[in-house]
């Protein structure tokens, strides 16, 4: 059964969504992130994906005080990304209560640091790869690199990488379906890695198709906030 991970993207302490990673397309939903965590957990969705979008753009965590409140909700298991670039950032992240840290730009720009974190923290470190035209984007999706997701997986797997969140930026926020073929290819090529599908999920049917394809986990964001998918449909019974 596919693991469903609801998403909370944060700017200025509010839940927001972007379209294709473009900050100019921001939609603010007004919901308090802590209240959203409680709503998700009430429906049995305890594994939550949260991104500090301003932190990603500025290159330093800006919302760890909010993470502390979110992580204090009973049974919450939060993976957090956005601006994690230094050893102190990761230390502060886990001290604030995160279960996992999601590393994006640093994995591209300073891979030795990512390797060290994988050795030290093991499966608590998750690769976050945002892909546009086959290449990994960095700095809150504002810049493109020359690396593919395959390049990163092959580099970090020997250091213990177990999971990678892969967002196809062209699908993100479009509510037009995820990049099914991309995940099929990655799962076939790297069976030892758990790839989490992200971007484009618009309906329960999309999730069921990913599940049928063998994808192990999926992040669902805008479809929840726009009412395309009801939390009752995703409910996990305890």
Is 89 assigned a catalytic role? no
In contact, 52 and 81? CB cutoff 8 Å = yes
Burial of 135 (0-12, 13-18, 19+ CB in 10 A): middle
Largest interatomic CA distance in the chain: 44
162, 58, 61, 144: CA torsion to nearest 10: 0
Q: Which of 5, 129, 29 is nearest to 78 (CA)?
A: 5
DSSP per-residue codes, 138-168: ETTTTEE-S--HHHHHHHHGGGT--EEEEEE
Is 32 assigned a catalytic role? no
Structure-block tokens of residue 186: 């990655």
Q: Which of 32, 89, 92, 130 is catalytic?
A: 130
Structure-block tokens of residue 68: 């502390």
Task: Tell me the chain's radius of gyration from C-alpha atoms.
Answer: 16
Q: Find all residues with CB under 8 Å of 157, minimum gap 6, and list them.
A: 190, 192, 193
Active site residues: 9, 130
């Amino acid at each position: 059964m596919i693991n469903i991970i609801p998403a909370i993207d944060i700017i200025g302490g509010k839940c927001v969504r972007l379209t294709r990673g473009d900050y100019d397309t921001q939609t603010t939903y007004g919901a308090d992130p802590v209240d959203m965590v409680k709503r998700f957990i009430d429906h049995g969705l305890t594994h939550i994906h949260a991104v500090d979008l301003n932190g990603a753009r500025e290159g330093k965590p800006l919302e760890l005080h909010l993470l502390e409140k979110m992580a204090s909700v009973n049974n919450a298991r939060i993976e957090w990304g956005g601006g994690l670039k230094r050893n102190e950032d990761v230390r502060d992240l886990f001290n604030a209560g995160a279960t996992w840290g999601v590393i994006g730009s640093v994995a591209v720009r300073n891979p030795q640091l990512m390797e060290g974190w994988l050795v030290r923290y093991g499966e608590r470190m998750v690769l976050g790869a945002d892909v546009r035209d086959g290449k990994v984007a960095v700095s809150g999706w504002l810049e493109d690199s020359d690396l593919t997701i395959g390049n990163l997986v092959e580099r970090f797997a020997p250091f213990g990488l177990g999971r990678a969140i892969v967002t196809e930026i062209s699908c993100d926020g479009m509510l037009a379906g995820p990049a099914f073929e991309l995940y099929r290819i990655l799962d076939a090529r790297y069976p030892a890695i758990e790839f989490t599908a992200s971007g484009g999920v618009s309906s329960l049917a999309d999730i069921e198709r990913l599940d049928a394809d063998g994808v192990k986990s999926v992040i669902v964001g805008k479809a929840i906030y726009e009412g395309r998918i009801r939390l009752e449909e995703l409910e996990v019974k305890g």
